[in-house]
């Protein structure tokens, strides 16, 4: 069974690649960021707890995040494998899932200067969640989803200033998590500065090998 993580800085393409991986490898896609945004939208207690951190570009405290993701991993759709996107992001979070025996960590590597356009021009469909970029991969109408005609929106942490804060927290808190998994020998580095198709091709060939090893 594939139990995977996808890691990388804000805008590296975790969400974009997760959509492709989840549909081709038939695993549940669990994005902690998406889960928090849903909670905020519905103004739940958890959403209210997370909101001020997310709008500042800071990490939500570990105990809140670990509980949310832990509950999600117990759901039925995770029994055939899963892909965690944006979790773990601190060593405490990684230790909390130590017993899950993750078998692959896709590490998206990219020059930080490429991230600005990816973040500032990102738009997301309110209805189906598809991720777009109105500068790098222009669509006919920058306000309407070409797939489902839903309205496109911009995340409120997608500004240049907030990106700088998010990148700082990535360097300080999340990079040590990659080293933690590297010591276990399960990190696969991917050049995320290429086109969406070319980044996915690298990931697909890595995961096909991992899946094959798992069935042995
Ligand atoms: P989260 O939602 O995880 O945000 P993030 O890590 O900052 O990453 P993004 O979602 O911004 O980028 P992505 O890598 O998914 O890129 P995407 O595929 O969209 O977290 C948000 C916040 O929630 C955090 O700041 C924190 O506050 C909180 N949080 C979440 N998890 C937490 C945790 N575990 N602990 C504590 N707090 C937590 O792509 C970006 C753009 O680039 C798009 O426009 C896309 O179309 C484009 N693009 C993608 N790939 C390519 C390519 N190859 N070529 C050209 N364009 C591309
Ligand atoms: Mg994302």
**C-beta atoms surrounding 24 within 10 Å:** 13
pLDDT at 165 over 90: yes
Residue 144 neighbours by CB distance under 10 Å: 15
Residues 63-88 have a mean pLDDT of: 97
Ligand 1 pocket member 13 (CB < 6 A): yes
Instruction: Give me the percent of the chain exceeding a pLDDT of 70.
Output: 100
Task: Work out the average pLDDT over 169-186.
Answer: 98
CB 18 less than 6 A from any atom of ligand 1: no
Q: How much is the pLDDT for 216? A: 85
How much is the pTM? Answer: 0.97
Q: Which two tokens stand for residue 120?
A: 């500032």
Distance from C-alpha of 22 to C-alpha of 182, rounded to nearest angstrom: 23
Which pLDDT does position 140 carry in this prediction?
95
Q: Which atom of ligand 1 is nearest to the CA of 36?
A: 23
Task: Categorize the per-residue pLDDT at 89 as very low, low, confident or very high, splitting at 50, 70 and 90.
Answer: very high
> Which residue, by CA, sits nearest to atom 48 of ligand 1?
13
| Distance (Å) from CA 14 to ligand 2 centroid | 5
Asked whether residue 70 carries a pLDDT value surpassing 90, the answer given is yes
pLDDT, tens digit (0-9, with 9 covering 90-100), for 5-60: 999 999 999 999 999 999 999 999 999 999 999 999 999 999 999 999 999 999 99
pLDDT of 115-162, one tens digit each?
A: 999 999 999 999 999 999 999 999 999 999 999 999 999 999 999 999
């Amino acid at each position: 069974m594939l139990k995977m993580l996808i890691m990388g800085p804000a805008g590296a393409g975790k969400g974009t690649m997760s959509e492709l991986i989840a549909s081709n490898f038939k695993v549940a896609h669990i994005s902690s960021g998406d889960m928090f945004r849903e909670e905020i939208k519905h103004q739940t207690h958890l959403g209210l707890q997370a909101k001020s951190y997310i709008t500042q570009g800071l990490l939500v405290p570990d105990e809140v995040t670990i509980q949310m993701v832990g509950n999600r991993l117990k759901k039925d759709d995770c029994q055939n494998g899963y892909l965690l996107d944006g979790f773990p992001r601190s060593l405490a979070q990684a230790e909390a899932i130590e017993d899950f025996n993750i078998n692959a960590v896709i590490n998206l590597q990219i020059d930080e200067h490429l991230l600005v356009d990816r973040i500032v021009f990102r738009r997301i469909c309110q209805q189906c969640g598809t991720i777009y970029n109105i500068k790098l991969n222009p669509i006919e109408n920058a306000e309407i989803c070409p797939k489902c005609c839903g309205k496109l929106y911009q995340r409120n942490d997608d500004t240049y200033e907030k990106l700088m804060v998010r990148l700082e927290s990535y360097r300080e808190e999340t990079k040590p998590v990659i080293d933690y998994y590297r010591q276990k020998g399960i990190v696969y580095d991917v050049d995320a500065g290429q086109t969406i198709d070319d980044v996915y091709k690298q990931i697909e060939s890595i995961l096909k090998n991992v899946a094959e090893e798992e069935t042995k």
